[in-house]
Structure 1
């Protein structure tokens, strides 16, 4: 049942909603509303919609708005706003809030242009609000009535929108990319990129590069062959589409057995970055299919890799593979963050990533060569780096049909999709961390379109090195890759990170609080009133009419309740209430 057209309330709605099984995410849902948008003009003068130009996107680091998924082309998750700071954050109070009516995972950040906020819900509803007051301007519900959701891994989520010109763009669970008029919510164009329910789905926020809408696709768990595609922002026409798993006659094609590339996985289900200096789109690539590596000998490029693409053609310029011949579901999709590092007396233009495999990587973003890699979680499958800078994996930790292994981290990763933030003032990366291990054993599987293509059984378990915690927030010194501070949590930490010039790092906890950490020390500078659900959402911040706001979704869901093994069965985790609730704070 949808309650999305209700008016936002001042203060918190304290009604706890019942926890529903995460497995409902896989159930068929019928009869969702047909696409509709109702427009309301924003109140007050000076609220005309300012077009989002290439120049504004290039200078997003200095913009008072939050114009894209991770704020800027470098995916830093850092905003130069400091009205809310370590000196006054204790006075931060609820400004407005909104209940979505959905019970699945709420993973999108508020994306803001001036006094317009755009945020997506599970099952591809897109809401527009007045960013300062919460007045709802319009709502669009994508028509998913013909979709069974049977091949959508890890909850029916959407991770947000992109803005360009006067349009707002969303990718959908049935593989459409939709352009809407940002002021009214009316559909400008709607492009299908593939059939639903066969293995592919789109959950990531698009990225705008040079007038193109760049999107990725999920589906590695179903053997779907991944790709990155660029669409013309005005028409929706496909400019190029680059597969992440090469055919035999393409570079990297010989790293697969005959025919395996067609079901090779390599999903691109998180938003990439854009390096303007080298004119490269940087995108992470997910796990190979099937999970069981004995079925596909070779390095299996470009799975579990960071790839650099030419924006004009989509061609791959270089790659770095985080986990060669992956058999643990250690996706390489995690957001690539552009920053500079000084390592052992040398300065580098770097891209950093906290990988699912438990290692924090700094890579030269001009050529894809490794600068350093350091473990940030207990890691036993990837044991180190060769002199050439390639990861070394332990053959004893590779499961087979006849062998069960116990290895760390679990397939949920040292860090999963929830993004890090990088602060240029402290020069730290802030990493939401899981502390888990797993047992894993091979199983027989054959490919059938639309069915899971794993070939392994698994169970998430406690990390024996960290038996009292499931999660933490860590600060990592970018010049060394070593930990600067840690905040430990009995519960998993699945909230994205937001860093600000006010010396603060914001992130939401599984038990329903938004934390404001001191960026230098990790001390808790502020903790919100208790929210109605746990957080898997990504916070953002913006300024309207001289006032700074911080917004985040509470709305527990995602992979942990579905796949979390012993972690999901932990009574403290099992008891986290569900239900989508957007909270906005201000002084």
Structure 2
């Protein structure tokens, strides 16, 4: 782990900083990112937030690059960064300004059309040892509002930067570092509020979502995901367990303007071993519907009650309408770590359907009320080791899906792994892991020849439409476009362009200098369309991946960040 967190040599780092210092902001006027523009982000020429728009679609209505000409993509510009860890941020673009984050909570600003460096922000991590940062020192991107860029950091700061200069406008700290909390997500701006969530479920942190005033940095509300005594859901926990109950909210949520509701996923309960905390353990492994004005919970749906496999419920909650059995629903869809693809009525939290998209043996089905049914034989204990699927890395992990209104498909980057897991006695101590389990990731016996795949799932049915199999794990996010093309990067360093209807590979980039872990995005400047993505292998798979991490093809993936931008 230490080698993956190491910085590039000091001389190279100094040169990299110097290349940004004093760079003239030649990108032109900075268009203000208003509430109206964020509400209409799906139609914007830029890429104004983590997943483009409030629905989390990952879809752009651009067709200049299309199935007929995507094979002509060429490199427009690139940027090399030297950290030997995972690069997960999408390029976020407003006008001709492009912002992308790196590991260790840095922000880089470029001219979006040429790659000219504009400024660089190096966050001061102080004396933080980052010992309670789970699964690599990554960052998943920025949010934009008015004339500012917002960043959530590993040492629990929320920072507002001047969009044209990178100067700090305000900085607020949520928690002390190294005691269980960290932040790796991209913030979400809703109605003048900067909304973030904390990591730390593996360290007994009590999760929450918080909102700050975008202008001043004032903390407006904080909603804990694990209820205290007397609050709704508190009776689903043993006495006192809420204080170390986990429920991290470590991925970016979405926003439903129709109902004025934030939808936010919640992670695993703590410790992992469920025999130590009998009950459903609300609101772990859930999606929460929150009032953006107050953080009040409107409704919830729990994906895995009394989770003992680290299946979480944090995977993105993507908003779309679906039609099933002749009825149209305002829905959210989510490909869960537990191996099931869900469609949920986003007006009331009721399950519409759930279908397996990966081998799933722990969660076996659902009762008439939509509650998950789990197999007692697959539950570990201190004296009981079990083999179950998926592994704790999930049928899909943090890397986001995309959906297309043209094909009515969801495009899901999928991991095919199982695990052995056994209970281990554990006591809580601040700043130390609070797992209560030993585990090892293993091959899925049903998928012996490959660790990963990309698959298309029909939104109205939850059934697979096509699948592209990969010998290596597939840990990159998805991008869908009106050109009938879906983009995502492979672990062996190729950005793929798939035919959105059939899954046929229409184009592969030249091999990158590292494997792709990043999230692709697309934008237009002066009518010209670009596609950008970080290469830079890392994240959870090579650290906790068991047999997968031991696979020589995975172990030998080169490291180091490299931002690629393509155009015709």
Secondary structure in 1 aligned to 2:170?
Answer: strand
Aligned pairs for 1:87-236 within 5 A: 87-236=68-217
Matches within 5 A, 1:61-72: 61-72=42-53
Unaligned runs of 5+ in 1: 1-21
Give the equivalent residue in structure 1 for 2:249: 268
- Select the residue among 43, 57, 73 that pairs with 2:26: 43
Rounded Cα–Cα distance in structure 2 between residues aligned with 1:23 and 1:565: 18
- Which residue matches 1:429? 410
The one-character-per-residue Cα deviations of 1:299-349 (angstroms, maximum 9, x if unpaired) are 000000000000111011000000000000001000100001111111100
User: Would you say the 8 A contact 1:125–1:142 is kept in 2?
Assistant: yes
For the residue of structure 1 that corresponds to 2:242, the secondary structure is helix
Counterpart-to-counterpart distance in 2, 1:28 and 1:287: 31
Structure 1: how far apart are the matches of 2:209 and 2:276?
25
* Rounded Cα–Cα distance in structure 2 between residues aligned with 1:117 and 1:327: 41
1: CA distance, partners of 2:342 / 2:54: 19
1:379 to 333, 346, 360: 360
Q: Please point out which of 304, 313, 316 is paired with 2:297.
A: 316
Please say if residues 247 and 267 of structure 2, whose CA atoms lie closer than 8 Å, have aligned partners that are also in contact.
Answer: yes
Q: State the match for 1:359 in structure 2.
A: 340
Query: 1:248 offset after TM fit, Å?
Result: 1.3
Look up the match of 1:246. Answer: 227
Residues 1:556 and 2:537 aligned together: yes
Q: Which residue of 1 aligns with 2:501?
A: 520
Equivalences for residues 274-293 of structure 1 within 5 A = 274-293=255-274
Tell me how far apart the structure 2 counterparts of residues 208 and 312 of structure 1 sit (CA, whole Å): 12
Deviations 1:157-179 (A, max 9, x none): 00000000000000000000000
Instruction: Please give the TM-score of this superposition, normalised by the length of structure 2.
Output: 0.97
Distance change in 2, residues 1:269/1:441 (3 Å): same
SS in 1 for 2:445: coil
The reply on whether 1:78 has 2:59 as its aligned counterpart is yes
Aligned length: 563
Pairwise CA distance, 1:92? 0.3
> Which residues of 2 match residues 435-454 of structure 1 at below 5 A?
435-454=416-435
> Is 2:483 aligned against 1:498?
no
Does structure 1 retain, via aligned residues, the 8 Å contact 2:262–2:290? yes
SS in 2 for 1:465: helix
Distance 2:501 2:116 in 1: 36
Match of 1:257 in 2: 238
1:475 aligned to which of 456, 460, 477: 456
Deviation sequence 1:100-148 (CA, Å, 0-9, x none): 1111100000000010000000001100000000000000000113110
Alpha-carbon contact 2:255-2:263 (below 8 Å) kept: yes
In structure 2, distance between residues paired with 1:131 and 1:363: 37
Note the alpha carbon deviations across 1:201-227, whole angstroms, 9 max, x for none: 000000000000000010000010000
Deviations 1:401-429 (A, max 9, x none): 00000000000000000000010000000
For 2:392, the equivalent position in structure 1 comes to: 411
1:29 Cα offset (Å)? 11
- What SS does structure 2 have at the residue aligned with 1:392? strand
Q: Deviations over 1:66-108 (max 9, x none)?
A: 0000000000000011100001001000010001111110000
State the secondary structure of the residue aligned to 1:549. strand
Contact 1:340 1:347 survives alignment (8 Å): yes
Describe the shift of the 1:172–1:482 C-alpha distance in structure 2 as closer, same or farther (beyond 3 A): same
Q: CA separation in 2, counterparts of 1:549 and 1:420? A: 20
Q: TM-score, normalised by structure 1?
A: 0.94
Aligned partner of residue 71 in structure 2, secondary structure: helix
Note if contact 2:6-2:83 (Cα within 8 Å) is conserved in structure 1: no
Residue 382 of structure 2 is matched in structure 1 by 401
1:59 to 40, 45, 59: 40
Q: Is the 8 A contact 2:86 2:137 kept in 1?
A: yes
CA distance in 2, matches of 1:497, 1:397: 32
Q: Give secondary structure in 2 for the equivalent of 1:251.
A: coil
Deviation at 1:24, TM superposition (A): 3.8
Q: Structure 2: which 5+ runs fail to align?
A: none
Equivalent residue for 1:568, pick from 549, 552, 562: 549
Contact 1:28/1:150 (8 A) holds in 2? no
Q: 1-side partners of 2:515 and 2:312: how far apart?
A: 24
C-alpha RMSD of matched pairs (Å): 1.6
